[in-house]
A and B are shown apart, each in its own frame.
Chain A
Amino acid sequence: MSLTILVFAKQVPDTKNVTGKAMKEDGTVNRAALPAIFNPEDLEALETALQLKERFGGRVVVATMGPPAATAILRHALYMGADETALITDRKFAGADTLATSYTLACAARKIGQFDLILCGRQAIDGDTAQVGPQLAEKLALPQLTYVVDVLDIQKGRLRARTQVDGGYEVVETPLPALLTVVATPTPPRPAGAKRLMQYKKAVTRSELLARHSGATYEDATSLADEEGRLRTLGLWIHEWSAADLEAEPGRIGMAGSPTKVKAIESVVLTGKKDTVLVPPTAEAIGSLVHDLVKDHILS
């Protein structure tokens, strides 16, 4: 068996570790100050894909939609063991909600062509919506398994996995091709391989290659085309796909393809009650607090 596995990943601001440095004076979060990371559950999805490749053979293709800087997570995917990567980038994709995003990713999946399995993290930590996976499955008319914690086996074109459900877990089976959203893997995502890092840190997109030869335009520079050919042969080529490359309908991508609009955003302000009673950490003061709580029937 040789599997073609697509992994869709996202670069996200690290909302989990909001430290003092990322706080503004008014108590709100300075989002720009948060470091950009590989979305944690997407790393679990990639790890799952790499393990399946090791067990059953095949190749792993990782794609992300985002600004050019999101190439960083694609390089990281190469360091971990991905075979091929693609950056889905275009100003026209900006402002996409989950419906427009899933449409765009569906176009990318069609461009990649034949595949057996799509893996996504269950949700991204900037939005926590968990919507893009199931929406992508629907767009591609694929069966879906969500909240996957362990892929148990693949046999005769059917995949068996353990999934979390409310109040327990299930073992379910789906024919391939299918889409899975992954919460966790039994073993944590592998770190970047040192050898692979040395090798793949040179991987570039077309825009990055052009920037290196600034001033040149692609079409008239045969040397660039030669360079691209060389990089492709070495596996150092990161695909870069625009809306036009994906033949995406303009009305279904970015802001235009997004039914949901943000009416208002309120930063949560971390100041609040001014009447907090400070209790010193002494036996006496704590004793008196406990006494009051019992007296007021807050503690029995």
Chain B
Amino acid sequence: MSKNAPGNVWVFIEQDAGRIADVSLELVCKARELADTLGVKVEAILPGAAVAALPPRLHELGADNVFLAEDPRLKHFSAVPFTKVIVGLARQHRPNIILFGATVTGRSLAPRVASSLQVGLTADCTDLKIDHFEDKANNRVLENRLMQIRPAFGGNIIATIVNTWDDPQMVTVREGVMKLAPAQPGRKGKVTPAKVELDATDLAVALIERVTEEKSVDLKGAQVIVAGGYGMGSKDGFALVRQFAEAIGAEVAASRAAVDAGWIGHDHQVGQTGVTVRPRLYIACGISGSVQHRAGMDQSAKIIAINQDPAAPIFAIAHYGIVGRVEDVLPKFIKAYKGRG
């Protein structure tokens, strides 16, 4: 394994009815970067039904090879059969690294794969790089290891984790954290069909019904975002955030506290356990600014914070701070915007 020739960098490709998840595309780009540093190849694992048309897209983003595990029984994601496919491939080809999106699917699949392979796994990384690691406990230096950087403890600390056992080194990464690089049209790669061997016990979990709910909001693509937090006081109070957003043509977002309070759906949550956004303007209303929230919005081009507590941590990262009650400030803001010349 790690002692012999270095393995390649793998990406699990999540797709639904032939549409590849954004995070998988982002991870192919990140894998390219890591593989170039290590001098190895990027390989994608693509399980699914009717997915044979997808590899060219992955090649153009940097994949050198796609393991195509096409089988009608893999039409819908289920942890046990998908684990079997990936573990089989990993045992055969011994990758150095496997990246998964930290989606519901990735977070159900990656731990099962890691447990089966008896390797480490780090969840929800916000950064990945290659570096050496001084393993003091065993008095050795591990070269070219994957530094798995993630917030922990509710986002109050940032930890760098290293897998010290044999490869593969496995991580999950949230959507929107890694950047999508431009595709290189015409870039070619290999496609390697993978055998899919499943028995009845692997397929014991049955899908009865699937209900797709249109995402009510596209925060990732939004240019202007108005976000409300616990300081909005109540569900009725939160209505003012929606009103404000509508008035200035913004999308509505929220902190975890407002979502947990039931004032707005989880789709709207910005932060470490929600969406990561980079809008042109982010207006935080009644949000104290926990690290977990800031992790999802501190890359915004401009940040305005409105909070009645002058000591609220959100002000530390805001470009503009308005210390005042949201119910006084927001109507004034709306009025000023309507009267802009």
Secondary structure dominating the interface of B = mixed
Task: Answer whether residue B38 sits at the interface, using C-beta atoms and an 8 A cutoff.
Answer: no
**Inter-chain contact B115/A263, CB cutoff 8 Å:** no
Task: Answer whether residue A31 sits at the interface, using C-beta atoms and an 8 A cutoff.
Answer: yes
B: interface residue count bin: 35 or more
Query: What count of chain A residues pass the 8 Å CB interface test?
Result: 79
A98-B111, A135-B112, A276-B316 known; A127 vs B152 contact (CB < 8 Å)? yes
Task: Answer whether residue A279 sits at the interface, using C-beta atoms and an 8 A cutoff.
Answer: yes
Secondary structure dominating the interface of A = mixed
**Inter-chain contact B204/A143, CB cutoff 8 Å:** yes
**Inter-chain contact A260/B320, CB cutoff 8 Å:** no
Task: Answer whether residue A281 sits at the interface, using C-beta atoms and an 8 A cutoff.
Answer: yes
Give chain A's interface residues, CB within 8 Å of chain B: 13, 15-16, 18, 20, 28-29, 31, 97-99, 102, 125-135, 137-139, 143-147, 160, 164-175, 255, 258-268, 270-273, 275-283, 286-287, 289-291, 293-294, 298-300
A16-B154, A290-B340 known; A260 vs B211 contact (CB < 8 Å)? no
A161 to chain B: closest CB distance in Å? 10
Q: Which residues of the partner chain B approach A127 to less than 8 Å between Cβ atoms?
A: 123, 152-153
> Which single residue of chain B is at the shortest CB-CB distance from A296?
B302
Give chain B's interface residues, CB within 8 Å of chain A: 16, 21, 79-80, 83, 103-105, 107-112, 114-116, 118-124, 133, 135, 137, 147-148, 151-165, 204-213, 215, 224, 248-249, 256-257, 260, 272-273, 280-281, 289-291, 301-302, 304-305, 311, 313, 315-325, 328-329, 332-333, 335-337, 339-341
- Max chain A Cβ within 10 angstroms of own Cβ: one of B103, B289, B340: B340
A28-B156, A29-B153, A128-B124 known; A263 vs B162 contact (CB < 8 Å)? yes
**Inter-chain contact A271/B316, CB cutoff 8 Å:** yes
A170-B210, A286-B332 known; A146 vs B159 contact (CB < 8 Å)? no
Cβ contact of A167, chosen from B121, B133, B212, B336, cutoff 8 A? B212
Q: Which residues of the partner chain A approach B205 to less than 8 Å between Cβ atoms?
A: 143-145, 172-174
A18-B156, A127-B152, A166-B103 known; A273 vs B111 contact (CB < 8 Å)? no
Cβ contact of B111, chosen from A133, A286, A291, cutoff 8 A? A133
Q: Which residues of the partner chain A approach B124 to less than 8 Å between Cβ atoms?
A: 128-129
User: A18-B290, A134-B111, A172-B206 provided; 5 other pairs, C-beta below 8 A?
Assistant: A97-B120, A146-B107, A169-B213, A267-B157, A293-B302
